[in-house]
C-alpha cells in the first residue's frame, strides 16, 4: 500500500467516532477531499455530503460510525458501568482496552476472574451487567472529574500491518472506515465525476443516517460501501464461511435487511469478471447495511451493497487483506462506469 | 388549572393507541385559545401553531404523545367473556383482577381474568401468563346480549380514576403520557414566541406505530424537536443506570440515536436558568417518538425530556406534580432561547445550499 494511503487509513481507523458521535472524522475527511468537490456540507442529521459535478444522480455512501460503548453509571467505587453502542458481544470483552471520550482517557474492561467462575452452575458468558470499566479511580468523586454520564468509549487498538510481508492490515473500526477510505480515493480520482458521496452517521444504531439522507437527496442509484464478516476460519465449512479474504469485494443478492435487483447484480458480476477484478458473493444472509435505507429513498432509487471481507468486525481488532482493498477500489471504479452507462440507457 | 382537575377532564375521553379521535377533538377545542392555528388530522393528532414575533425564526416542535396503552377485543365468547390483543406493551402479570372500560356501542365495565393460581400446574406456574389465556369478563349472560353492545375491534383501557396521593404525588392510568401532554400545554401557553415559531403536537399512535409524528413532521417540517415523555423512576429491584429519580425534575436522554449536541444544549440551558435536569443514558435508543422524528427528511434534530414515573403502563402510574411543573419551566426556557444551531453546515463557504 502507498504510504499516503496507509497513513490515511491509519488515521481513519484510530479516530474516535462511535455511533452517534461521529464529529471527530469531519476534519480528517474534509482535509482529504475538499480540493476535489463542488459542494461539501453536513446535513441536519450529521451526515457529511460531498458532491462532484452538477446535479449528480449516483450516490456512494459509507458510514463513519463504529461500534462502541456508552458510560451509563459512575459507581461508588470509581468503576464505570457501560452498555453497547451498536452490537458488541459482551462474552469476550473482559480485559479489552478502551479509550473514553474524544480526550481518549484510557480504561480496561474488568470482570470476575476465571478462577471464580460459577462452576456449579455451568458456564455463563458475561453480560454487560457483569462488566465494568476501570479507569484507575477509587471513588465516584474522583471518577466524575474525568468522565461524565453518557460519555462514549471505543476500543483502544493500534492500526498497523499484521504480517511482515504487509499483506494484511489490522485495526479497529475497519467497519466502516475502509468504506470511508475508498470514497476518499474515489473523490480524488479525476475520472470519477457527477457523483454524490455521503459519509453517513448512526449506521450501527439502525441505518439511521442513511434513512434521513434517503428522505432528502435525489438519486437513481445508491451504493452502500461497507465491510462484512469473513468467516473463513479453520473448522468452519460450507456456507458458514460466508465469504473469504483474498477473493475480492463481496456483492450480495440479499441480506438481513434488503433484497437487491437480481438482474443488476448478475450484470455487475459479469462486468467485473470480464475485467478480471476479483469479486465474490456471500453465503449467509445476516445483518443489514445502509443500502436498506437507500432502497427506501423517496425518489425510489435502486440500491445495492458492496463490502470488504473483514474478519472479526465488531470486535476489538479486525483484519483485512491489502489485495482485497485494491480489488474493492477497482470494483468501485468499474461500478461507477457501469452505473453511468446504465443511467444513459 | 389544577393538575388533577385538568387530568380528570382529559381522561373522560378514551384514547387507546390507534383510537385517539375523541381525545384529540377534546384537546383541540379545550386548549385552542392563544394559538394562531389549532387542528386535528386523519392520523388522530391534535396540533397547535403559534407564529413567531419576527420573520425567519426557526420552528420548534414541542411533542407529547396523547395515546396510552390498552387492549382490543379479538373474539366474543359465550358467558360474557371476550379475548383480547394488546395495543402497546402491557405486563400480562398485572392483568388478572384489573378492571377495564370497553368502548363498544356503550361503555361497558369488565374485569380481566385468567385461570386461578390454585389450578395451575407446576409447569404453568413457572411460565409468564400469555395474553391468549386472559379474558375480559363483561358480566353479560349470553353472547347475544353482549353482541348488541360489543364487537370485535372495540378497544378498552384500564378503569382507574386519577387520585391525589400524599405529598404532591398523583396516581392515574395513562400518565404515560398525559403528564407530558400537561407539561407541554402548560408551557405552550406561556411561551412568548419572540425567538421561534411554536408547533405543538399531541401525537397519536406512539405506543404502537408512531404514525402521528411521522405524518405530521413530514408535512410541517419543524427545524428541531423537543419530545416530552415519561421515564422510569428508580425503585426497588431496578438498575440505577436505567432510571431517573422522582422529585428531581425532568431528565434529558443521551443516546447514539438522536442529536447529542441537542442534549447538551438542553443541559446548558437548564444550567443557565438554574432549572433541575437529570441525565439518563440510553445507548441503543430511547423508545420514544424522537426515534422516528430524528431521521425524517434529511434529519430533524431531536431530544427527549422525560418526567419520572413509577409503575409504567399500569392502572396506577405515579408522578410527582412538581416534576411536571419543572418540565414546563424547562420547556419555556428552551423555547425562549431557541438558540440551538440546527441547520446544515457548508464547508466550502458557498451560498444557497
Domain ranges, ordered by start, for chain A: 3-66+172-343, 68-155
Instruction: For residue B257, give the nearest of A30, A84, A202 by CB distance.
Output: A202
In this predicted structure, what is the pLDDT of residue B122? 84
Taking 60 as the threshold, does the pLDDT of residue A133 lie above it? Answer: yes
Q: Residue B227 has which C-alpha cell?
A: 419530545
Residue A119 is predicted with a pLDDT of: 61
Beta carbons of B342 and B58 less than 8 angstroms apart:
yes
| A-chain residue closest to B242, CA distance | A72
- Neighboring chain A residues of B59 at a CB cutoff of 8 Å: none
- Mean pLDDT over all residues of chain B? 94
Residue B297 and residue A69: Cβ atoms within 8 Å?
Answer: no
Record: contact A39-B348, CB cut-off 8 A? yes
State pLDDT tens for residues B128-159. 889 999 999 998 989 999 999 999 999 999 99
Chain B residues with CB under 8 Å of A200 CB are none
pLDDT digit string, tens, across residues A251-280: 999 998 899 999 999 999 999 999 999 999
Residue to mutate among B238, B299, B303, with most A CBs inside 10 A, is: B299
Nearest chain B CA: its distance from A216 CA (Å): 5
Backbone angles phi, psi at A320, to 5 degrees: -145, 150
For residue B350, which residues of chain A lie inside 8 Å, CB to CB?
39
Query: Is the separation of the CB atoms in A43 and B344 below 8 Å?
Result: yes
Q: Do B296 and A129 touch (CB under 8 A)?
A: no
Q: In the prediction, which pLDDT does B285 show?
A: 95
| pLDDT: which is higher, A285 or B207 | B207
Q: How far apart are CA A283 and CA B22, in angstroms?
A: 52
User: Chain A: residue nearest B285 by CA?
Assistant: A205
Whether B244 contacts B280, CB under 8 Å = yes
Specify which residues B278 forms β-bridges with.
B251
pLDDT surpasses 70 at A329: yes
Kindly list the distances between the CA atom of residue A235 and the CA atoms of A6, A246, B124, in Å, as whole numbers in the listed order: 32, 18, 42
Query: CA of A193, closest CA in chain B: separation in Å?
Result: 18
pLDDT of residue A120: 59
The ipTM of this complex is: 0.82
CB-nearest to A44 from B239, B283, B342 is B342
* Predicted confidence (pLDDT) at residue A209 exceeds the cutoff of 90: yes
User: Is the distance from CB of A183 to CB of A327 less than 8 angstroms?
Assistant: no
**B70-158, CATH topology level:** Elongation Factor Tu (Ef-tu); domain 3 (2.40.30)
Write out the catalytic residue numbers of A.
203
Indicate the domain borders of chain B. 3-68+173-337, 70-158
- Those of residues 287-346 in B touching chain A at CB distance below 8 A are 294-301, 342-346
pLDDT tens across B250-305, in order?
Answer: 999 999 999 999 999 999 999 999 999 999 999 999 999 999 999 999 999 999 99
Say yes or no to pLDDT of B39 above 60: yes
Residues of B in contact with A209 (CB under 8 A): 295
The CATH code of domain A3-66+172-343 reads 3.40.630.10
pLDDT digits (tens, 9 = 90+) for B107-130: 999 999 988 777 788 888 888 889
User: CATH assignment of A68-155?
Assistant: 2.40.30.40
| CATH number assigned to the domain with residue range B3-68+173-337, chosen from the 4 options 3.40.630.10, 3.90.1720.10, 3.40.640.10, 3.40.50.620 | 3.40.630.10
- Distance between CA A229 and CA A327 in Å, rounded? 17
B238 in contact with A at a CB cutoff of 8 Å?
A: no
Q: Which tops the pLDDT comparison, B93 or A88?
A: A88
Nearest Cβ partner for B279 among A34, A47, A150: A150
Buried b (16+ CB within 10 A) or exposed e, A244-281: bbbbbbbbbbebebbebeeebbeebeebbeeeebbbbe
Q: Which residues of B touch A84 (CB under 8 A)?
A: 283-284
What mean pLDDT comes out for the span A9-30?
A: 97
- Check whether B181 has a pLDDT greater than 60: yes
Amino acid at each position: 500500500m502507498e504510504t499516503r494511503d496507509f497513513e490515511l487509513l491509519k488515521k481513519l481507523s484510530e479516530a474516535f467516532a462511535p455511533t452517534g458521535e461521529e464529529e471527530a472524522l469531519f476534519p480528517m475527511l474534509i482535509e482529504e477531499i475538499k480540493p476535489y468537490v463542488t459542494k461539501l456540507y453536513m446535513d441536519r442529521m450529521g451526515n457529511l455530503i460531498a458532491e462532484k459535478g452538477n446535479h449528480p444522480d449516483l450516490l456512494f455512501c459509507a458510514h463513519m460510525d463504529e461500534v462502541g460503548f456508552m458510560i451509563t453509571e459512575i459507581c461508588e467505587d470509581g468503576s464505570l458501568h457501560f452498555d453497547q453502542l451498536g452490537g458488541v458481544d459482551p462474552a469476550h470483552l473482559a480485559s479489552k482496552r478502551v479509550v473514553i471520550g474524544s480526550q481518549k482517557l484510557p480504561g480496561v474492561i474488568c470482570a470476575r476472574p476465571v478462577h471464580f467462575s460459577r462452576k456449579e452452575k455451568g458456564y455463563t458468558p458475561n453480560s454487560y451487567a457483569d462488566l465494568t470499566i476501570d479507569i484507575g479511580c477509587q471513588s465516584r468523586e474522583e471518577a466524575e472529574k474525568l468522565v461524565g454520564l453518557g460519555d462514549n468509549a471505543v476500543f483502544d487498538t493500534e492500526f498497523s500491518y499484521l504480517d511482515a510481508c504487509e499483506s494484511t492490515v489490522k485495526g479497529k473500526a475497519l467497519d466502516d472506515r475502509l468504506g470511508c477510505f475508498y470514497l476518499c480515493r474515489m473523490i480524488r480520482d479525476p475520472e470519477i465525476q457527477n457523483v454524490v458521496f455521503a459519509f453517513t452517521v448512526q449506521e450501527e444504531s439502525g441505518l439511521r443516517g442513511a434513512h434521513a439522507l434517503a428522505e432528502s437527496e435525489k438519486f437513481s442509484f445508491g451504493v452502500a460501501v461497507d465491510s462484512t464478516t469473513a468467516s473463513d476460519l479453520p473448522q468452519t465449512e460450507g456456507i458458514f464461511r460466508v465469504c473469504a479474504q483474498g477473493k475480492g469485494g463481496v456483492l450480495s443478492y440479499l441480506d438481513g435487511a434488503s433484497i437487491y435487483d437480481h438482474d443488476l447484480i448478475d450484470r455487475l458480476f459479469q462486468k467485473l469478471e470480464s475485467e478480471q477484478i476479483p469479486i465474490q458473493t456471500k453465503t449467509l444472509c445476516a445483518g443489514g447495511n445502509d443500502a436498506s435505507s437507500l432502497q427506501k429513498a423517496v425518489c425510489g432509487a435502486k440500491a445495492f451493497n458492496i463490502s470488504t471481507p473483514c474478519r472479526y468486525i465488531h470486535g476489538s481488532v479486525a483484519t483485512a487483506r491489502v489485495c482485497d482493498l485494491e480489488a474493492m477500489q477497482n470494483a468501485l471504479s468499474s461500478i461507477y462506469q457501469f452505473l453511468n452507462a446504465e443511467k444513459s440507457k | 388549572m389544577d393538575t388533577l382537575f385538568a387530568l380528570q377532564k382529559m381522561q373522560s375521553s378514551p384514547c387507546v393507541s390507534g383510537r385517539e379521535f375523541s381525545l384529540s377533538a377534546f384537546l383541540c377545542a379545550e386548549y385552542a385559545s392563544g394559538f394562531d392555528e389549532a387542528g386535528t388530522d386523519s392520523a388522530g393528532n391534535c396540533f397547535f401553531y403559534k407564529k413567531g414575533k419576527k420573520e425567519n425564526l426557526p420552528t420548534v416542535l414541542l411533542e407529547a404523545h396523547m395515546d396510552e396503552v390498552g387492549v382490543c377485543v379479538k373474539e366474543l365468547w359465550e358467558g360474557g367473556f371476550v379475548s383480547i390483543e394488546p395495543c402497546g406493551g402491557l405486563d400480562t402479570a398485572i392483568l388478572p383482577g384489573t378492571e377495564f372500560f370497553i368502548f363498544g356501542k356503550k361503555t361497558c365495565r369488565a374485569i380481566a381474568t385468567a385461570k386461578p393460581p390454585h389450578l395451575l400446574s407446576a409447569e404453568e406456574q413457572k411460565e409468564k401468563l400469555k395474553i391468549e389465556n386472559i379474558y375480559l369478563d363483561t358480566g353479560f349472560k349470553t353472547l347475544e346480549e353482549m353482541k348488541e353492545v360489543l364487537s370485535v375491534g372495540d378497544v378498552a383501557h384500564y378503569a382507574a380514576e386519577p387520585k391525589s396521593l400524599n405529598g404532591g404525588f398523583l396516581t392515574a392510568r395513562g400518565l404515560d403520557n398525559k403528564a407530558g401532554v400537561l407539561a407541554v400545554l402548560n408551557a405552550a401557553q406561556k411561551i412568548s414566541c419572540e425567538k421561534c415559531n411554536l408547533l405543538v403536537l399531541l401525537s397519536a399512535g406512539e405506543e404502537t406505530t408512531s404514525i402521528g409524528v411521522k405524518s405530521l413532521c413530514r408535512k410541517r417540517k419543524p427545524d428541531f424537536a423537543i419530545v416530552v415523555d415519561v421515564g422510569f423512576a428508580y425503585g426497588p429491584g431496578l438498575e440505577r443506570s436505567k432510571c431517573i429519580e422522582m422529585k428531581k425534575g425532568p431528565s434529558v436522554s443521551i443516546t447514539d440515536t438522536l442529536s447529542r449536541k441537542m442534549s447538551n444544549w438542553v443541559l446548558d440551558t437548564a444550567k443557565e436558568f438554574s432549572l433541575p435536569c437529570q441525565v439518563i443514558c440510553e445507548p441503543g435508543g430511547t423508545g420514544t417518538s424522537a426515534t422516528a422524528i430524528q431521521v425524517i427528511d434529511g434529519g430533524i434534530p431531536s431530544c427527549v425530556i422525560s418526567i419520572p414515573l413509577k409503575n409504567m403502563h399500569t392502572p396506577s402510574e405515579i408522578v410527582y406534580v412538581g416534576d411536571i411543573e419543572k418540565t414546563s419551566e424547562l420547556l419555556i426556557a428552551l423555547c425562549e432561547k431557541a438558540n440551538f444551531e440546527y441547520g446544515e453546515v457548508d464547508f466550502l463557504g458557498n451560498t444557497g445550499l
